[in-house]
């Protein structure tokens, strides 16, 4: 079946059509290699570009989680016993399945998330890379071997998968983040129960079906729809060995605390308030381009977005004008607008919350130099906020303290590098921090001084490649291990340390039938 801009195939052969055709589908679980009916209530799914209902999702109950965990636990017995290279061969197959169906998945992301075609394409392209990275498990999982720790004694470590891994994923990257959470887990021999955002599950459900078609054994990758009720059951379930969560900071903290109290391994990643420090020696045009792309890409709905520019010295007026002129020219539009570079935010609630944040900043004395709320006035035409720039923001204002999670950029002005560092250090968040400067000594100082998990030097979004670790500091992450690289292997496996003495074989005398007496 040909796939066009308005038409995509869903699990079970269903078709979801774009807003102009009004077809609606209902989404439910994918457990043990097939679609499973849900026991809970139906919830509407909306097209953010139009604000109109475009389908329904059936939320799960505790018994649906139990069914998925049982499927994963059952599949674990055989999947964990496969040789590592046998598992990697399957990973290659499912990577190819996603690559072959890339355009279809992109369209599903566009339709349910409201992303521009460029943003959705970038996400799915990186998702294919993520699966490819999981094939590096053969290298990353290597363990130490020490020969001759004593005469005739060698010591080495052996890795084992932890069991059933539960992943709880956000709406903003409905393909990339779930695959980041699950692919390395599967490669290590674990099985996965994944709860995606109930706002845009279509792409992930289609991927689950593609994985099964590509030969991934039933029960290795399961998807459960749901809300808080499902999350609570995941945390409480005795057969869930590890939880990986990405979402807001308050929920991340709660998942971490409750999961650890039940002796589970937990990685919980929260929000961010990322600072871009721009020094006076920086090329203003270069810095302004970077600030605009990193603040307004994906409509600002990403935890690594630059949401605060810290202008150092006397460059403030020039920098703000350069950023404003670029941001004002960004085309805003829906999925039917091929020229759009900034799409809608995910929901009506998000749109109103962001608009309230802008109003609060004005009431607190900041200057709104570019106001995206003009897009907010479009009634019945989707959930749009245009690029917004707030100047003369002080560190005590809500626009600086809180994660807005939208296309809003705050400008803080300081006199010195030291003041910029104080502002970053005082923030509750610590996902990322970047600096633009030509001064190598300042760059080195910034690497040491900035209190954040990811540091960028003349790079506005310092999100690392997958063979390096990712995790924020402070309230941006509640975990001892990072998400990518070797840390992911450590989180997803446990080791035994073996001390082995090799004994010489005992040489026995020939067998005799002679009767022996005392």
Give, as one character, the DSSP assignment of residue 342: B
What does 375-386 look like in DSSP terms, one character per residue?
HHT-TTS-----
What does 224-246 look like in DSSP terms, one character per residue?
---SHHHHHHHHH-TTEEEEEEE
Which residues are annotated as catalytic?
Answer: 303
Rounded CA separation 61/38 (Å)? 8
What does 146-191 look like in DSSP terms, one character per residue?
EEEEETTEEEEEEEEE-SEEEEE--SSSTTHHHHHHHHHHHHTT-E
Rounded CA separation 206/104 (Å)? 9
Query: Tell me: the pLDDT tens digits for 284-330?
Result: 999 999 999 999 999 999 999 999 999 999 999 999 999 999 999 99
What pTM does this model have? 0.90
**What's the order of all strands across the beta sheet hosting 265-269?**
34-36, 29-31, 221-223, 191-195, 164-168, 240-246, 265-269, 477-478
Per-residue pLDDT, 214: 97
Per-residue pLDDT, 12: 45
Whole-number Cα distances in Å, 357 to 129, 294, 372, 392: 36, 20, 12, 15
Q: What's phi and psi for 456, nearest 5 deg? A: -115, 130
Per-residue pLDDT, 517: 47
Residues in the chain: 518
| Mean pLDDT by groups of 10 residues along the chain of 518 residues | 36 38 70 93 93 92 97 98 93 97 96 94 96 86 87 92 98 96 96 97 96 98 97 98 97 97 97 97 97 95 95 97 97 89 95 96 97 74 94 97 97 98 96 97 97 96 85 93 88 95 76 52
Per-residue buried b or exposed e for 132-158, using 16+ beta carbons within 10 Å of the residue's own CB:
bbbbbbeebbeeeeeeeeeeeeeebee
Burial of 84 (0-12, 13-18, 19+ CB in 10 A): middle
């Amino acid at each position: 079946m040909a796939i066009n801009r308005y038409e995509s195939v869903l699990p079970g052969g269903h078709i979801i059509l774009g807003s102009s055709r009004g077809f609606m589908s209902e989404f439910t679980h994918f457990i043990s290699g097939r679609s499973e009916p849900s026991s809970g209530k139906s919830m509407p799914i909306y097209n953010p570009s139009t604000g109109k209902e475009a389908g329904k999702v059936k939320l799960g109950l505790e018994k649906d989680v139990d069914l998925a965990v049982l499927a994963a636990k059952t599949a674990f017995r055989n999947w964990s016993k496969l040789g590592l290279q046998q598992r990697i061969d399957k990973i290659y197959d499912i990577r190819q399945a996603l690559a072959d169906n890339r355009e279809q998945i992109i369209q599903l992301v566009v339709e349910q998330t409201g992303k521009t075609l460029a943003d959705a394409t970038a996400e799915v392209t990186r998702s294919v890379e993520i699966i490819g990275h999981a094939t590096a498990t053969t290298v990353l999982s290597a363990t130490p071997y020490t020969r001759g720790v004593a005469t005739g004694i060698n010591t080495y470590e052996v890795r084992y998968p932890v069991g059933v891994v539960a992943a709880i994923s956000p709406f903003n990257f409905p393909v990339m983040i779930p695959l980041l959470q699950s692919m390395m887990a599967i490669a290590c021999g674990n099985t996965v129960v994944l709860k995606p955002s109930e706002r845009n599950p279509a792409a992930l459900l289609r991927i689950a079906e593609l994985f099964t078609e590509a030969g991934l054994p039933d029960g290795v990758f399961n998807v459960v729809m749901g809300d808080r009720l499902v999350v609570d059951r995941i945390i409480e379930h005795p057969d869930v060995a590890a939880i990986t969560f990405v979402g807001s900071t308050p929920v991340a903290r709660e998942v971490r605390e409750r999961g650890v109290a039940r002796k589970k391994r937990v990685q919980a990643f929260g929000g961010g308030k990322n600072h871009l420090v721009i020094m006076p020696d920086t090329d203003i045009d270069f810095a302004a381009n970077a600030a605009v792309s990193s603040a307004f890409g994906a409509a600002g709905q990403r935890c690594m977005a630059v949401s605060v520019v810290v202008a150092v010295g006397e460059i403030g007026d020039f920098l703000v004008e350069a950023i404003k002129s670029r941001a004002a020219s960004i085309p805003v539009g829906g999925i039917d607008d091929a020229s759009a570079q900034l799409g809608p935010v995910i929901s009506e609630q998000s749109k109103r919350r962001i608009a309230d944040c802008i109003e609060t900043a004005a009431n607190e004395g900041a200057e709104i130099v570019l106001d995206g709320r003009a897009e907010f006035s479009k009634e019945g035409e989707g959930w749009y906020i245009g690029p917004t720039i707030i100047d003369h923001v002080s560190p005590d204002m809500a626009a600086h303290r809180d994660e807005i999670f939208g296309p809003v950029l705050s400008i803080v002005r300081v006199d010195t590098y030291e003041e910029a560092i104080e502002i970053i250090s005082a923030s509750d968040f610590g996902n990322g921090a970047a600096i633009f400067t030509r001064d190598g000594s300042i760059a080195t100082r910034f690497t040491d001084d900035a209190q954040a998990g990811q540091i960028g030097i003349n790079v506005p979004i310092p999100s690392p490649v997958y063979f390096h670790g990712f995790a924020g500091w402070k309230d941006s992450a509640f975990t001892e291990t990072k998400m990518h690289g070797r840390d992911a292997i450590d989180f997803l496996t446990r080791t035994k340390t073996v001390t082995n003495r090799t004994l010489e074989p005992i040489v026995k005398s020939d067998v005799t039938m002679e009767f022996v007496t005392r």
